[in-house]
Amino acid sequence: MSRYDFEIPVTFKHRIVFTRDAFSPENTHLSEILVEGGGRRAIVFIEDSVSAAWPELADRIQTYFLDIDLEFRGTFVFPGGEPSKADDVLVREIWTALDTAHIDRHSYVLAIGGGAFLDSVGYAAATAHRGVRLVRFPTTTLSQDDSGVGVKCAINTHNKKNWVGAFSVPYAVINDFNFLHTQDKQTLRAGLIEAVKVALVKDHELFEWIEENLAALVAPEPDVLEMCVEKSALLHARHIATGGDPFETGSSRPLDFGHWAAHKLEAMTHYQLSHARAVAIGLALDTLYSARSGMLKFSIADRVLNVLDALQLSIYHPALDWLDESGRRRVLDGLDEFQEHLGGELTVILLQDLGVGVETHQFDESLLGDCIAELRTRWESRA
């Protein structure tokens, strides 16, 4: 009898670009990345709302590829938004398109859309031929300041958020700021929540900068919005690259502050509540809980809630008070599901100070109930 343990070291290059007008003939970021990697073919998937907002986009992409020594297999438009990851319909359509276009592991799949669309196309790309090269073009605030530079993709199944998915480092991420400016105002503003989140757990200076620039962010003043997106994306990417656990094999997920409740609220509301808006509520809840359990000053919790208010993000949803047959709040199942998703001990990030997240392994459900009641009262008084 013998046992052999091998170490398999693998490193990835995470290429992230911030630019404007990525498909203008003068903009060589994309062409350089594609040429650098060699490869045979490229295919492009565009979310329908992006295609509608940028009707000339497909033609511009086609023209851009004329100068690149790759077989261009065309642009294809598919519906996006959260429904596009509610099942595997889009994933199967993408698989079929990849097969028909003979996309191989050295070919490129470009995906242009919001976080949900990128998640579905990304999952299809991560699983076709066990993974083809994905170049993401995030087009919303949230997908540029967070999910686009992440190394995950997933769709929702079993009435749970992101239950099926993969860890897969994209070949490149091109954050083209121009796309941000055709989002509706609410989506544009709400996506800043992930910047607030990462600032709260990682970088007090970014939180203070957001506080100082709230009016410009809400307006939005393009330069300030774009600066916020870039600062947030880089904090996320740096954590993934240097945090020691890019594929989340441990029990902790430091970038998921406020997310245990958020994911549950999204599923409970059948995804009527968007991810960004659900994170705002989850973040408000965990901030208040941090204060009420004695680890965070109330004055800081107030500052956080004021920022959410200024971004016009609600801090409460009636689903927080929905009960199961035993009279327990259903949202609390989110804690069990969060633990089960990662495995190991329940580990949730709370706040000790601005920019300082701490791990906790236990929640006092009665105290959580008090926090929910306070959020409801504050919300009613603001309504």
Ligand X SMILES: NC(=O)c1ccc[n+]([C@@H]2O[C@H](COP(=O)([O-])OP(=O)(O)OC[C@H]3O[C@@H](n4cnc5c(N)ncnc54)[C@H](O)[C@@H]3O)[C@@H](O)[C@H]2O)c1
In the complex, the residues that contact ligand X under the rule CB under 6 A are 47, 49-50, 53, 80-82, 85, 113-117, 119, 139-140, 142-143, 146-147, 150, 152-153, 162, 179, 182-183, 187, 191, 275-276
Amino acid at 19: T
Q: Are 192 and 214 in contact (CB under 8 A)?
A: no
- Provide the token pair at 189: 């503003």
Nearer to ligand X, 39 or 115 (CB): 115
Those residues whose C-beta lies under 8 Å from the C-beta of residue 192, and which sit 6 or more positions away, are 141, 145, 210, 217, 228, 311
Residue with tokens 């740096």: 238
Nearer to ligand X, 142 or 375 (CB): 142
Nearer to ligand X, 102 or 270 (CB): 270
CA–CA separation, 55 and 172 (whole Å): 24
Nearer to ligand X, 274 or 287 (CB): 274
Those residues whose C-beta lies under 8 Å from the C-beta of residue 340, and which sit 6 or more positions away, are none
- Torsion 259-265-267-271 (CA) sign: negative
Q: What is the dihedral of CA 164, 170, 173, 179, to 10 degrees?
A: -30
Nearer to ligand X, 93 or 119 (CB): 119
Nearer to ligand X, 321 or 337 (CB): 337
Tell me if residue 156 falls in helix, strand or coil.
strand
- Provide the token pair at 340: 């089960």
- Provide the token pair at 369: 């109930």
> For the CA atoms of the chain, what is the radius of gyration?
21
Least distance in angstroms from the C-beta of 156 to ligand X: 8
Least distance in angstroms from the C-beta of 233 to ligand X: 11
CA–CA separation, 162 and 123 (whole Å): 11
Nearer to ligand X, 277 or 329 (CB): 277
Nearer to ligand X, 246 or 369 (CB): 246
CA–CA separation, 338 and 348 (whole Å): 9
Least distance in angstroms from the C-beta of 225 to ligand X: 13
- Provide the token pair at 100: 């028909």
Least distance in angstroms from the C-beta of 69 to ligand X: 29
Least distance in angstroms from the C-beta of 189 to ligand X: 11
Least distance in angstroms from the C-beta of 303 to ligand X: 24
Least distance in angstroms from the C-beta of 294 to ligand X: 30
Tell me if residue 232 falls in helix, strand or coil.
helix
Least distance in angstroms from the C-beta of 3 to ligand X: 36
Least distance in angstroms from the C-beta of 321 to ligand X: 23
Q: Are 48 and 79 in contact (CB under 8 A)?
A: yes
Amino acid at 225: L
Tell me if residue 135 falls in helix, strand or coil.
strand
Provide the pairing of β-strand 15-19 with 172-176.
parallel
Cα 165 off chain centre by: 14
Q: Are 32 and 98 in contact (CB under 8 A)?
A: no
Nearer to ligand X, 112 or 296 (CB): 112
Distances from the Cα of 325 to the Cα of 318, 328, 329, 330, 332, angstroms? 17, 7, 10, 9, 13
Least distance in angstroms from the C-beta of 32 to ligand X: 24
Nearer to ligand X, 183 or 287 (CB): 183
